[in-house]
Each structure stands twice: as C-alpha cells, then as structure tokens.
Amino acid sequence: MSYRKHALFLLLLSLLLVCAAKQGQAQAANAPNSGTPILIELFTSEGCSSCPPADAWLQKIDASQPISGAQAIVLSEHVDYWNHDGWKDPYSSSLLTERQSGYARAMGLNSAYTPQLIVNGRSELRLSDPQQVSQVLLKAVKAPQVPVRPLFCERISRQTEVHRSAMRMSSRPSLSITRSRRS
C-alpha cells in the first residue's frame, strides 16, 4: 500500500475517532470516573452474513456500557477479504485485514474469520458462549494496564490532539487521537 493511501487511511480513521469522541462526550460527562478502559475490536464485513448480530451486540455494548468498573472502547473494523465477485465493502481496508491476521498469529489461532471479537488485543471473544464472554470481559477489567508515555503531541484543533506514543513493551511508536478539555 502506498504512503499516500496509508496517510489517507490514517486521516479517515482519525476523523472517525474524533466523531466517536464527540458522541461519547455526553456519556463521559455523566460518568466522572469511567473505569478501566477495555478495547473491544470487532472484525466484520458488510459481505458477511453472520456479522449483523455481532454488529448489533457491539453497538449495544457501546451505548449501554454494561461492564461494571470499565469503559468499553469499541471498534468495528471492516476487513477486505470478503470483497469479491465485483462487490466491495466500502468500509473495508487491507490494513484492518493485516491487523486481524496479526492477532491470529499472535494468539496461535488457525485463521482469522468474521465476525471475530478481540478484547484488549489479548483474548478472542465468542458471542455464542455467554459464560466465556463474561469471563473474558471480567479478566480484561482486572488486567493491569500498560503505561504509555507521550513522545510527540500536536494540536490540530481546539479540543483534539494527535499523539505518538510508545508502550514500554513495544519499540514501535503508535498513533492515537485524544480529546482534551481545557478551561
């Protein structure tokens, strides 16, 4: 993938995150201490006939925030391996397919599939097993958080900043978008 396409993808992802932050601002105002952040990633596709129930579950988790002591951060990530026969998921990206494949390799899974849920980059979640869902989410709430230190910060609007940071366990920098409240 060319640098220009990669940069465009990151820009679009950044805009989506800013929009999501605006939507979640009202929820954050009502919950002064939102708890432990839990990242729930759904790998999905509009070409996948099994994905709508998982999409609905993810939306419900995002809207209701039912996990006690936690703030669910949900991402719906459309993979591109369902793009065939002249049809293309307009939200799909090869970068998200690569991300999902990386999880499958790291977790020792036979393959990636849709719908597939990954929690905190460490656990696979199967919605067909309610007991397993509860166990994985409870484990995620209790898991120690990885400290992050900012390496670079650039203000791109009054309330939005772009950060590059590195976790102690990784030497590769990452990009994140945050909203800040300043008086």
Average pLDDT over residues 154-178: 50
Nearest-angstrom CA–CA distance, 113 and 178: 30
Looking at the fold, whether 172 and 110 belong to one and the same domain comes out as no
Residue 156 has pLDDT above 50, yes or no: yes
Provide the pLDDT confidence category of residue 27 given band limits of 50, 70 and 90: very low
* 104 shares its domain with 40: yes
pTM, two decimal places: 0.65
We report the CATH number of the domain holding residue 118 as 3.40.30.10
Reported in sequence order, the residue ranges of 13-169 that DSSP labels E, i.e. its strands, are 36-44, 70-78, 116-119, 123-125, 148-155, 160-167
Kind of pairing, strands 160-167 and 174-179?
A: antiparallel
pLDDT at residue number 169: 44
**pLDDT digit string (tens) for 30-76?**
544 458 899 999 999 999 999 999 999 999 999 999 999 899 999 99
Counting the structural domains of the chain, the total is 2
